[in-house]
A and B are shown apart, each in its own frame.
Chain A
Amino acid sequence: MQDGWRGAGRALGIIAGFLPIAMSFGAIAAQTGLTNLTTMGMSVWIFAGASQFAAVEGVRQNLPWFSIVLTVLIINLRHVPMSFSAAQRYARFGHWQHLLLCHGLLDETFALESAEPPQSFAYYLGMHTACWVAWICGTWLGCQFGTLLPERWLQFALPSLFLYLLMTALKSRWSRKTVGVIAIGIAIVLLTQSLGATGLLLSMVVVAIAASYKHPGFYAGSR
């Protein structure tokens, strides 16, 4: 139980970044004409920020439902390689525990977990549940009070979180080869930026392959 609360506490940085995004989603969905129930249903069941925004845009444009589903799945395709990598971390848990943790596998939780030594199931569950509840609460707040967002004060929360994790990873592993991997990473992200979520997926795979060629033992997350 204590591990669960510790995991939830660790997720506070993510939650700070999540709330304004979830509130924006709730507000936009409400303005599009979605009911509170369907908007909340999306946050509970899909729980994937960028793709939910895309789904609402699809609804606004009156696209057929299967075309919206396809768009959501393409945006979320990056979860597949993340799931492969996270499976190595979750392998010591039971089958059902592993399946339970999968729902909370996001860019943010994946990055945070990768930067830490292996933790207990309760810790990961606490972290995932806290993020999920924050996303749902943020969506509800957005549906109710979306136009009153203090957005600018929280806009930089997620970039700050990722930057902190990057610096923590680099502090102990800095080398000339690292600079090469970072340069490749910056270049590929900027080049593929116009491709949206597909560009992100492509960039992640290219950087991972570049890191494995340039520096086999460069960064192996929690291993």
Chain B
Amino acid sequence: MEIWWMIFGAGVGTYLMRSAGVWVQTERLQLNWLIHLPFAVILVMVVSSIAQFVDSGDRMTTVAAIAATLTVILSSLKSLPLMLCVAIGCIVFGGIVGLG
């Protein structure tokens, strides 16, 4: 029974945080930095997700992460579609890790 209270409480709390923008009037808070938050989220998620692979302690994983990162950067500079860039990143990473 307790597990259901946990799921219920965690779900309600998470939803209330996700809907904070509905309940709180941000105009009154004068949060100018909020318009830069999308970029901040993207940058932080890029660095943290790649850093996890680089810090994994496994040399092949580190090499694979660096190679896949460079490949995705080049692919996006070539203006390839999103799905293709994701697929290329996965193939390069999975291929190199598989060699180890």
Using CB atoms and an 8 Å cutoff, list the residues of chain B in contact with chain A: 2-11, 13-15, 17-22, 24, 26, 29, 31-51, 53, 55, 64-65, 68-69, 72-73, 75-77, 82-83, 85-94, 97-98
Contacts and interface: CB of A to CB of B under 8 A. Distances in A.
Contacts of B68: 156, 159-160
Given A13-B86, A38-B7, A185-B40, A73 B72 contact: no
Contacts, number: 269
Interface of A: 10, 12-13, 16-17, 34, 38, 41-42, 45-48, 51, 55, 58-59, 64-66, 68-69, 72-73, 76-77, 79-88, 90, 95, 98-99, 102-103, 105, 107, 110-111, 114-115, 152-169, 171, 181-182, 185-186, 189-190, 193, 200, 203-209, 211-212, 218-223
Contacts of A84: 20-21, 24, 26, 29, 31, 34, 37
B85 A211 contact: no
Contact of A79 (B17, B51, B55, B89): B17
Contact of B98 (A152, A157, A206): A152
A156 B20 contact: no
Which of B24, B89, B94 lies at the interface centre, i.e. has the most chain A CB atoms within 10 A of its CB? B89
Which of A55, A102, A110 lies at the interface centre, i.e. has the most chain B CB atoms within 10 A of its CB? A102
Given A45-B8, A102-B19, A154-B90, A161 B82 contact: yes
A47 B7 CA distance: 11
Given A152-B93, A159-B89, A164-B82, A207 B43 contact: yes
